[in-house]
């Protein structure tokens, strides 16, 4: 369950153990509509179905019912100007089925971000306007400190 | 790595709080607020007194904490250093590895989602810090492994490597691995190695390749020689020791009699 080098396994030998697994898994937003108990992962290319299952069960303590994997081909694109072709890397996707009673909705991280940004921008604009007012007022009397007039 | 630390706290809760203290202690920085109280409490009182949040054991572990979702910057500590990791026990290193692994998965997930939604991923250096920590941890484990093997068997226990020539006659390092069949009867392996081809084409290629390497070396040598000569022509009283130090492959004393070094002026004789 890692990309390290292991001695060859022959029947009767003790089972190979993984002490420092170095595989990664990303939980990604599904592109197609899925049942609520199915979660999509983007995983290391070397991972097998069994690896995905034991990774989630042992490290994340998740109940896993079924794992299906596929390799999604990276997008190929022709350059508009020079005509050469570029290709993005292939990715391995794992569709993990949790028990029927579980349901997972991918959270929306950026719903509050717009509000927060608007609030910050508003306060920034206000302070900018205040400074402009101060400058206008002191146009004819340069060098006067801010506390001089009411 | 504040969130990693908190998670480490959660993880180690099950194992024993003594380890929590030691794991927490290292990458802490003055401005880091992460459970400073827990660190100051005496060692004996730890099990009862220490407060930790509930262990998060679900899919939300793949995402950052909710308060960081709409942030533009997430403040974290630094990566673990090798000297800090060297004083940890094997068990602690093993625990820390999984803390780091989960942290990396979380960061990669968040980065992917941010890229997907055309948002800016806050503090992307977190990924590098986790990566550096993991590399350092692996280095320390490897050191211990090597020491153990040397003590027990007299060998390093590393994967054996040897220098072989590939199909182009160039030297590459071949990483050995175990096989069920011995090498002389393992035809598939012999074919797959694809080494030791000594045909005429390879010899011709090697001749030209070496010529190229030689030319590069020769040109570099000439270039530095010319540079020294130009320096001496423009600055007749230049410190020769500096030149000798700066250009160790140039024989400066021999160059002093060269014609090129003489400038376009009348030499001062007998001054």
Contact check, Cβ <8 Å, A29/B104:
no
What is the b/e burial string over A31-66, where b = at least 16 CB atoms within 10 angstroms of the residue's CB?
eeeeeebbbbbbbbeebeeebbbbbbeebbebebee
Contact check, Cβ <8 Å, B178/A8:
yes
Does A122 share its domain with A79? no
On whether residue A94 sits in a domain, the answer given is yes
Does A79 share its domain with A125? no
Does A64 share its domain with A130? no
On whether residue A23 sits in a domain, the answer given is yes
Q: Chain B residues with CB inside 8 Å of A22's CB?
A: 101, 134
Q: Residues B81, A18, B143, B178: is their CA dihedral positive or negative? A: negative
Question: Which pLDDT band holds residue B101 (cuts at 50, 70, 90)?
Answer: very high
pTM above 0.90, yes or no: no
Contact check, Cβ <8 Å, A60/B57:
yes
Does A81 share its domain with A115? no
Q: Chain B residues with CB inside 8 Å of A18's CB?
A: none
Q: Which of A123, A117, A124 is nearest to B72 (CA)?
A: A117
Does A97 share its domain with A79? yes
**Domain map of chain B by residue range?**
2-153, 161-193, 216-255
> Of residues B262 and A93, which shows the higher confidence score?
A93
Query: Which of B55-64, B154-163, B246-255 is the least confident region?
Result: B55-64
Most confidently predicted of A131-135, A140-144, B105-109: B105-109
Q: Kindly report, residue by residue over B108-129, the tens digit of the pLDDT.
A: 999 999 999 999 999 999 999 9
Does A103 share its domain with A114? no
- pLDDT at position B196, please? 63
Contact check, Cβ <8 Å, A25/B105:
yes
Contact check, Cβ <8 Å, B62/A116:
no
Does A85 share its domain with A27? yes
Report chain A's mean pLDDT, rounded to a whole number.
92
Does A57 share its domain with A120? no
> Of residues B47 and A66, which shows the higher confidence score?
A66
Contact check, Cβ <8 Å, B59/A27:
yes
Q: Chain A residues with CB inside 8 Å of B95's CB?
A: none
Most confidently predicted of A72-76, A120-124, B249-253: A72-76
> Of residues B41 and A79, which shows the higher confidence score?
A79
* Strand locations in A1-136 (E): 25-27, 38-43, 66-72, 76-78, 85-87, 91-97
Does A99 share its domain with A120? no
- pLDDT at position B54, please? 55
Size of interface A-B (CB pairs under 8 A): 73
Inform me whether the C-beta atom of residue A89 falls under 8 Å from chain B C-beta atoms.
Answer: no
Residue in A7, A18, A20 to test binding to B, most B beta-carbons within 10 Å: A20
Does A33 share its domain with A99? yes
Contact check, Cβ <8 Å, B101/A21:
yes
On whether residue A150 sits in a domain, the answer given is no
Inform me whether the C-beta atom of residue A112 falls under 8 Å from chain B C-beta atoms.
Answer: yes
Q: Chain A residues with CB inside 8 Å of B101's CB?
A: 21-22, 24, 59
Q: Chain B residues with CB inside 8 Å of A20's CB?
A: 94, 97, 137-138, 141
Contact check, Cβ <8 Å, A59/B113:
no
* Strand locations in chain B (E): 161-165, 171-175
Give residues 155 to 184 of B whose Cβ lies within 8 Å of A.
Answer: 159, 175, 177-180
Query: Which of A26-35, A69-78, B106-115, B260-269 is the least confident region?
Result: B260-269
Q: Which of A39, A5, A57, A46 is nearest to A24 (CA)?
A: A46
Judged against a pLDDT cut of 70, whether residue B10 lies above it is answered with no
Give residues 212 to 231 of B whose Cβ lies within 8 Å of A.
Answer: none
When divided into structural domains, chain A yields a total of 2
- pLDDT at position B12, please? 43
Compute the nearest-CA separation of B242 from chain A (Å): 49
Inform me whether the C-beta atom of residue A116 falls under 8 Å from chain B C-beta atoms.
Answer: yes
On whether residue A40 sits in a domain, the answer given is yes
On whether residue A146 sits in a domain, the answer given is no
First to last CA, chain A: 73
Query: Which residues are CB-neighbours of B95 under 8 A, at least 6 positions away?
Result: B8, B11, B12, B15, B19, B23
Write the residue in A5, A19, A60 that is nearest to B94 by C-beta. Answer: A19
Distances (CA, A) of B37 to B8, B24, B51, B73, B80: 16, 12, 10, 25, 21
Does A25 share its domain with A84? yes
Q: ipTM for the complex?
A: 0.81
On whether residue A144 sits in a domain, the answer given is no
Judged against a pLDDT cut of 50, whether residue B21 lies above it is answered with no
Q: Kindly report, residue by residue over B84-98, the tens digit of the pLDDT.
A: 999 999 999 999 999
Q: Which range marks the domain in which residue A135 is found?
A: 110-139
What CATH number should be reported for the domain holding residue A74?
Answer: 3.30.70.330
Distances (CA, A) of B245 to B90, B242, B257: 47, 5, 20
Inform me whether the C-beta atom of residue B59 falls under 8 Å from chain A C-beta atoms.
Answer: yes
Judged against a pLDDT cut of 90, whether residue B44 lies above it is answered with no
Q: Kindly report, residue by residue over B237-255, the tens digit of the pLDDT.
A: 899 999 999 999 999 999 8
Judged against a pLDDT cut of 60, whether residue B7 lies above it is answered with no
- pLDDT at position B157, please? 87
Contact check, Cβ <8 Å, A24/B105:
yes
Question: Rounded to whole angstroms, how far apart are CA atoms B123 and B132?
Answer: 15
Q: For A87, phi and psi rounded to 5 degrees?
A: -135, 135
- pLDDT at position B192, please? 79
Give the three-class secondary structure for A122: helix
On whether residue A148 sits in a domain, the answer given is no
On whether residue A149 sits in a domain, the answer given is no
**Which element (helix H / strand E) includes A139?**
none
Inform me whether the C-beta atom of residue B65 falls under 8 Å from chain A C-beta atoms.
Answer: no
Return the number of other C-beta atoms located less than 10 Å from residue A115's C-beta. Answer: 10
Return the number of other C-beta atoms located less than 10 Å from residue B110's C-beta. Answer: 25
Inform me whether the C-beta atom of residue B268 falls under 8 Å from chain A C-beta atoms.
Answer: no
Percent of chain B with pLDDT over 90: 53
Most confidently predicted of A13-22, A66-75, B181-190, B199-208: A66-75
Q: For A131, phi and psi rounded to 5 degrees?
A: -65, -40
- pLDDT at position B50, please? 57
> Of residues B146 and B269, which shows the higher confidence score?
B146
Query: Which residues are CB-neighbours of A113 under 8 A, at least 6 positions away?
Result: B69, B70, B119
């Amino acid at each position: 369950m890692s990309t390290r080098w292991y001695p060859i396994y022959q029947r009767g030998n003790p089972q190979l153990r993984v002490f420092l697994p170095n595989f990664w898994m990303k939980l990604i937003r599904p592109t197609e509509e899925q049942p609520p108990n199915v979660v999509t992962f983007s995983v290391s290319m070397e991972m097998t179905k069994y690896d995905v299952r034991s990774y989630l069960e042992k490290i994340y303590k998740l109940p896993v019912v079924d794992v299906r994997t596929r390799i999604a081909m990276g997008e190929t694109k022709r350059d508009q100007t020079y005509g050469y072709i570029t290709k993005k890397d292939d990715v391995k996707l794992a569709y993990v089925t949790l028990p029927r009673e579980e349901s997972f909705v991918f959270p929306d991280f950026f719903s509050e971000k717009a509000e927060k940004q608007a609030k910050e921008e508003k306060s920034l604009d206000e302070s900018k306007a205040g400074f402009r007012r101060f400058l206008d007022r002191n146009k004819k009397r340069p060098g006067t400190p801010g506390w001089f007039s009411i | 790595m504040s969130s990693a630390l908190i998670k480490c706290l959660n993880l180690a809760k099950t194992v024993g709080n003594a380890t929590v203290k030691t794991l927490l202690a290292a990458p802490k920085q003055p401005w880091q607020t992460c459970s400073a109280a827990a660190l100051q409490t005496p060692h004996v009182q730890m099990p009862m007194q220490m407060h930790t949040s509930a262990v998060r054991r679900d899919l939300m572990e793949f995402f950052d904490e909710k308060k960081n979702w709409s942030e533009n910057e997430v403040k974290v500590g630094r990566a673990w250093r090798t000297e800090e990791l060297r004083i940890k026990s094997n068990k602690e290193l093993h625990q820390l590895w999984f803390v780091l692994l989960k942290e990396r998965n979380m960061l990669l997930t968040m980065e992917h989602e941010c890229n997907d939604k055309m948002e800016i991923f806050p503090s992307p250096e977190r990924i590098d810090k986790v990566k550096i920590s993991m590399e350092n941890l692996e280095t320390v484990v490897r050191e211990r492994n090597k020491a153990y093997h040397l003590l027990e068997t007299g060998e390093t226990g590393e994967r054996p490597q040897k220098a072989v020539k590939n199909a182009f006659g160039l030297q590459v390092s071949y990483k050995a691995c175990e096989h069920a069949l011995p090498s002389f009867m393992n035809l598939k392996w012999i074919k797959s190695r694809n080494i030791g081809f000594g045909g005429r084409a390879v010899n011709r290629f090697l001749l030209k390749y070496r010529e190229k390497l030689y030319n590069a070396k020769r040109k570099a040598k000439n270039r530095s020689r010319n540079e020294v000569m130009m320096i001496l022509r423009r600055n007749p009283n230049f410190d020769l020791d500096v030149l000798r130090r700066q250009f160790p492959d140039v024989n400066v004393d021999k160059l002093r009699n060269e014609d090129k070094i003489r400038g376009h002026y009348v030499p001062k004789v007998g001054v």
